[in-house]
Amino acid sequence: MRVIAGPEKKTRVMSEKERLVTAFHEMGHAIVGHVLPNCDPVHKVSIIGRGQALGYTISLPGEDKFLTTRAELADTMAMTLGGRAAEEIVFGEITTGASNDIEKVTATAKSMVMRFGMSEKLGPRVFGHDTTQPFLGRSMGTEPDYSDDVAREIDDEIRRIVEIAHQSARDILSERREDLDRVSKILLERETIDAEEFVALLEGQSEEEVFGSDDEESGAPATPEEPEAEAEKSASREGPRPAPRPRPAYGGGSAEMRSDS
């Protein structure tokens, strides 16, 4: 995880309001990604900061992939905008936390229109000459080879694709608002939710069913109810018996991952 998201920022202290916003932001990513069929499965959701991120949602493919379809790109953009959509729905306000998400989605939509020929309006065309010369230390970019009218059409298409993804995320989270509220509050308390736990919670299982009781979670042994008295009762009914052995301690499972992305 350190390689994917960077080291944990254990010294970073967020206010309760920021932790709350981060929890809903990350859960917005996760729920949209879970619902849309062309997104990679959610692997982990966390409000523990890593690198520059206040929290993060990790989704990993189930197999190696070398090609990406237009539907997959569209669903991935909707998932990326799920955090911003959650902030809009829950708080009626947006934060700077979605800046990296917007940057990613804009770059994806631009590539779909200008490089991949995935715009129905502009068709299977590539716009701009690639001027990338990394071995000469020059920055990557493209040189326009189209008119101002075409440039406006490109801008319109990029805006349209991004807005469709954004609306898709809002529609999903509005429909799953109850799940968004419930699981976000659990994430706020637990800080990290793994894939199996996330799926179970969305399927309607309670927090206790997913994470176990407090005694199991803390690893504390169950306290026997007056073993001497119980032994005396058994002896009076069925004759002498040895005192019951103390129960073993059961350790419960623990969960441990917003990106401003």
Q: Assign a CATH topology to domain 2-217.
A: Methane Monooxygenase Hydroxylase; Chain G, domain 1 (1.20.58)
pLDDT of residue 153: 96
Active site residue 26: yes
pLDDT of residue 50: 77
Sign of the CA dihedral running 6, 7, 11, 16: positive
pLDDT of residue 233: 45
What is d(CA 208, CA 82) in angstroms, rounded to the nearest whole number? Answer: 27
SS3 content of the chain, % helix, strand, coil (to 5): 55, 10, 40
pLDDT of residue 52: 72
Query: Checking phi first, is residue 6 left (phi over 0); if not, alpha (psi -120 to 50) or beta?
Result: left
Cβ 50 vs Cβ 8: under 8 Å: yes
Four-point Cα dihedral 18, 24, 28, 30, nearest 10: 100
Residues 6 or more apart whose Cβ sits within 8 Å of residue 159: none
126-146 confidence digits (pLDDT tens): 998 765 555 555 555 667 778
Active-site residue, from 26, 87, 88, 157: 26
190-207 confidence digits (pLDDT tens): 999 999 999 999 999 999
pLDDT of residue 24: 98
What is d(CA 26, CA 24) in angstroms, rounded to the nearest whole number? Answer: 6
Sign of the CA dihedral running 110, 111, 113, 115: positive
What is d(CA 67, CA 72) in angstroms, rounded to the nearest whole number? Answer: 10
pLDDT of residue 144: 79
What is d(CA 78, CA 158) in angstroms, rounded to the nearest whole number? Answer: 14
Strand pairing of 42-46 and 56-59? antiparallel
Q: Which residues of the chain fall short of a pLDDT of 50?
A: 1-5, 215, 217, 222, 224-227, 229-261
